[in-house]
A and B are shown apart, each in its own frame.
Chain A
Amino acid sequence: MAHMLEERGLPTTVLALVQPHVETIRPPRAVMTPFMLGRPLGEPNDAAFQRRVLLQALRLLERSDGPVILEHFPDDNPSWFDRPGWTPSVALPPPGAYQGSAAWQKAFHTELEAVLPAWERFKARFGRTTVGLAGQPPQAWAAFATSFLDGALPSVPHLDTPALALRFLADDLKALYGEAVQADGGPPSARQIDGWFWRQTVAGQLLIALRALAMQSDNSALKTVGGRFFVPVPFVSG
């Protein structure tokens, strides 16, 4: 995209997360950073760190030694590393083994009720939430999601298919839990959050079960969505 925009007369500078791609594509200007995918500016709630990254990228625009200018940003962002002594902002009992949709619904609903206060603290602290794709309130999630376990294919008015409805409910579920678990204290690493969610919550286990079910479904959209967009591969087996 940088190349295309530059060809169309716009000076560009890229915050580049994958060095091999930059070396192949050779955009006009790029700062190659060591941050994990999803974090182009590196560190959340660290204006000074983000500013360093952004200014380094912007300053490339003042150099005249193109047509390809590549620099490295030298520092890891602090929360790339696991936070010592981190504990989740919500204490949950370990998930059990559930048979049937009613058991899953009860367990997930109970857990979600326990998570919601931490989510409210997160929203008050950070002033926003990234939950909102599903178009359903959290109170509706347990019944909706677990109905798929019975073979139902419920939908919501604003999304075209049951597969999309479940995909975006999964996105919202992960976002809500991700926010709740970070409600207090400094930022944990992404690894710490993922490890907690996929291994220590009913919600994570439910998504793993829904993925397995979706991949056996005769509904091709559900099969595709479930196989690709519910559970990162490292956590598929729970």
Chain B
Amino acid sequence: MARLDDIPEPTRTTVANLPCPTFETTPFVSGPKLSERRVAIVSSAALIRRGDAPFAVGSGEYRAVPASWNSADILMSHVSINFDRAGFQRDINVVLPVDRLRELVAEGRIGSVAATHFTVMGSTDPAAMAEAADGMAAAMRADNVNAVVLSPV
């Protein structure tokens, strides 16, 4: 894991003590074999298109990241300064593996890539994210997505 011991203080303590939600239900949705799945990514990196307004601190919004966007137009507006960005600087796939998904489609490993991926501000309290979950889920169902890769930073 991102080894807690390797995370400098005070981030280490913050991360270790972060209140995490627990749930009474254990949903588990099955689907077709992987080669028939339509895959979307949900990134917590508060990604925006160049020129768009950045995410606000504490924002519970979600935004679309169309698969058609040029990777050169995608910026990260996450508020935290306590995670590495050098990997994202070199290669968007470290955070949003769009090229990897396209390759997997070409190889027949997955069925297709969703028309739209999604992004949120990962530092927002999960309790404030239900509406975003509703919106993203509706959009993904409309796009026949049946596999979601969550890629948190």
Contact = CB atoms under 8 A, between A and B. Distances in A.
A32 B2 CA distance: 9
Interface string B1-28: 1111011111100011010111101111
A64 B117 CA distance: 25
A15 B8 CA distance: 22
B28 A66 contact: yes
A8 B137 contact: yes
A42 to B, nearest CB: 7
Given A8-B137, A128-B92, A36 B6 contact: yes
B100 A61 contact: no
Contacts of B97: 41, 50, 54
Given A10-B145, A12-B150, A128-B71, A20 B4 contact: yes
B139 to A, nearest CB: 10
A193 B86 contact: yes
* Interface size grouping (class) on chain B: 35 or more
Interface residues of A, number: 81
A64 B30 contact: yes
Interface string A108-130: 00000000000000000011111
A187 B90 contact: yes
B85 A36 contact: no
10 contacts: A9-B29, A13-B147, A26-B22, A37-B11, A38-B88, A47-B103, A62-B34, A126-B90, A174-B81, A190-B87
Given A18-B1, A178-B85, 6 more contacts: A28-B29, A33-B2, A37-B11, A38-B83, A130-B85, A228-B81
Interface of B: 1-4, 6-11, 15-16, 18, 20-23, 25-31, 33-34, 37, 39, 42, 44, 50-51, 53-54, 71-72, 75-77, 79, 81-95, 97, 99-101, 103-104, 109-110, 120, 126, 129-130, 133-134, 136-137, 140-141, 145-153
